[in-house]
Amino acid sequence: MRFSSAYARFRGSHWFLFALVISIGLILGLHFWRHIDPDFGATNLALSIESSVSVALLIMYGVEQEMQRKQEAKRWEKMLRYMLDMMESNRAMLKQLHESHPHKN
């Protein structure tokens, strides 16, 4: 399993939302209680970096999914062409059989 798909699953989970809310709550608590990061510069930087990395990983995940979808479509196309060839062959055999043994009415 690729890291991007694992990250996309984590990012879409309730655990990510829970961790994000707890982190922001902790940062706000430290900001007002201990006056840490008074202008929220470090907080803004950390959240910006996380969002930049997540966008890149989610795009990678999307590209990976698209490649898998295309491979699956090629497999389906190959299988359907094979089935069509079999049906056309059966049709030709039935037509030949019908022509060699005509029904008398």
Residue 41 has what pLDDT?
Answer: 92
Tell me the Cα Rg of the chain. 30
| CB of 57 closer than 8 Å to CB of 8 | yes
Structural domain contains residue 81: yes
pLDDT at 69: 96
- pLDDT, position 1: 58
Question: What is the per-residue pLDDT for 104?
Answer: 62
For the chain, what is the domain count?
A: 1
**Token pair belonging to 1:** 């399993």
pLDDT score recorded for residue 5 = 84
pLDDT per residue as tens digits for the range 28-40: 999 999 889 999 9
Q: Provide the domain limits for residue 49.
A: 3-100
Q: Model's pTM, two decimal places?
A: 0.62
